[in-house]
Amino acid sequence: MDHLQTPIFTAMKAYHAKKVFPFDVPGHKHGRGLPEFAAYFGNTMLELDVNSMKPLDFLGNPTSVIKESEALLADAFGADRGFLIVGGTSFAVQTMIMATVTTGDKIILPRNVHKSAINALILCGAEPVYMAPEIDNEMGVSHNITLESLKRAYEDHPESKAVFIINPTYYGAACDLKTITDYCHEKGMMVLVDEAHGSHFHFHEKFPMSGMDAGADMSSVSLHKTGGSLTQSSALLVKTDRIDAQYVRKVINTMQTTSPSYLLMASIDVARKMLATEGHKILSHIIEIADYARAEINKIPGCYAIGYEAEEQPGIYKFDPTKLSVNTRNMGLNGMELYDILRDDYNIQMETGDVYNSLAILSVGDDYDSVNTLIDALKSISKRFHSARIDYKKIDLHYPEVVLTPREAFYADKEMVALEDTLGRISGESLMSYPPGIPVVSYGERINESVIEQIKLFKASHGVVSGMEDPEANFIKVIKG
């Protein structure tokens, strides 16, 4: 296919050139009704913030330019079908799960899934079977799962219909996706891949294998995270050997807006063109920058950035070098403190911070100047801070027992209980450190000592805990009785 084509973007430009008089929504009417906003962001953007119409096609039932764009999207990523998603990859994840399992079905997931997967289980009623990811005590994070952990989950629950895989994790750890996919298909299970942080994988051989290249049945890719499109724009990719693409469209249409942003869809169109036609060259440059940055950071006293040397250890079959996590525990700074210092003192915004690490994500928009700014800031911080190594109390990450399905717990009667008194109670909400949005305890799980200690640690290390009704997490909502 001709990937120089951008059907949606081209149609929008043609519409704009006609200077149409709008008597449809949105109500700002090409920005005239929102002059302050238009003056700051530019008239053209507001003039292209338009509603569905015949010349621009309809996302719920595309027949022209959106249909063409989705065909190009599928071809670019090696899929049979592609769907434009304007509700973020969270929505794409929910679609994959809801198109695959329902009430009474079981789905195998790693315990460090994003909250969107848990929310999908609330919506569809399926029962989660969790795999324990490999733990890195030095970094203080979870990496990926192994084939062995999958086999254990399957042997305990051979009736499971699907397996949900993260490719890669937030910190760049990828599993042996091809071997795992082949095993799942051999056992009659469908493979769903959360590639929120792997939209670039398919376009360069030095990255871990993409879901579509591994033969997965569906994958969701955050083009806005690493592919260059606008925030909230995403894509759902499908192989049709085991999946009915028309049914997937129906699932999408039950939840996705009927007023999609053409600015978002056009940005997917243009990002796909860039990746398909120039992706290998651009990503080769980004890999060079990432390797350079990692090497320079590892020369700085008190800093460590994990890299290729971690490959083949449990939970890291392959490593994505664009995930640049900076560990400063030997400097006496935790990750959230580093995150705050970089933002407040050096005007540098990192992706997130945790108990030991602060994460930078490199993508198609980075260059040597940007990473040198970060490197120089870290050198300065290293000279400022010389405290003793941080060693928080080691927490036994004993994952909580699933007592109720997320759907059952979501709709059950609940009460607020002080955090210290929740031991043994069943959680009626989902608590997580955000970003990345991985639950410490989720709906329907029995709260154990590990959960309570993790929540206390997040608070002590100035992390952001979210998802609960009490913003301070002093009280937790649990199931009554």
Per-residue b or e along 189-218, where b marks 16 or more CB atoms closer than 10 Å to that residue's CB: bbbbbbbbbbbbbbbbeebbbbbbbbbbbb
Give the CA angle between residues 304, 133, 151 to the nearest 5°: 140
- Among 63, 62, 82, 60, which residue's Cα sits nearest to residue 71? 82
- Among 198, 203, 213, 223, which residue's Cα sits nearest to residue 69? 223
Q: What is the pTM of this model?
A: 0.94
Q: What is the DSSP letter of 51?
A: -
CB 436 within 8 A of CB 170: yes
Rg (the chain; Cα; Å) = 23
Residue pLDDT tens, the chain, 481 long: 999 999 999 999 999 999 999 999 999 999 999 999 999 999 999 999 999 999 999 999 999 999 999 999 999 999 999 999 999 999 999 999 999 999 999 999 998 899 999 999 999 999 999 998 998 888 888 899 999 999 999 999 999 999 999 999 999 999 999 999 999 999 999 999 999 999 999 999 999 999 999 999 999 999 999 999 999 999 999 999 999 999 999 999 999 999 999 999 999 999 999 999 999 999 999 999 999 999 999 999 999 999 999 998 899 999 999 999 999 999 999 999 999 999 999 999 999 998 899 999 999 999 999 999 999 999 999 999 988 888 877 766 678 899 999 999 999 999 999 999 999 999 999 987 765 667 889 999 999 998 998 888 888 777 777 788 998 889 999 999 8
HSE, side-chain direction, 13 A CA sphere, residue 281: 4
Domain ranges of the chain: 58-275, 278-384, 406-479
Topology of the domain covering 58-275 = Aspartate Aminotransferase; domain 2 (3.40.640)
Structurally, what CATH architecture does the domain formed by 278-384 represent?
A: Alpha-Beta Complex (3.90)
Determine the CATH number of domain 406-479. 3.90.100.10
CB 327 within 8 A of CB 304: yes
Give the CA angle between residues 143, 157, 395 to the nearest 5°: 35
Same fold, 278-384 and 406-479: no
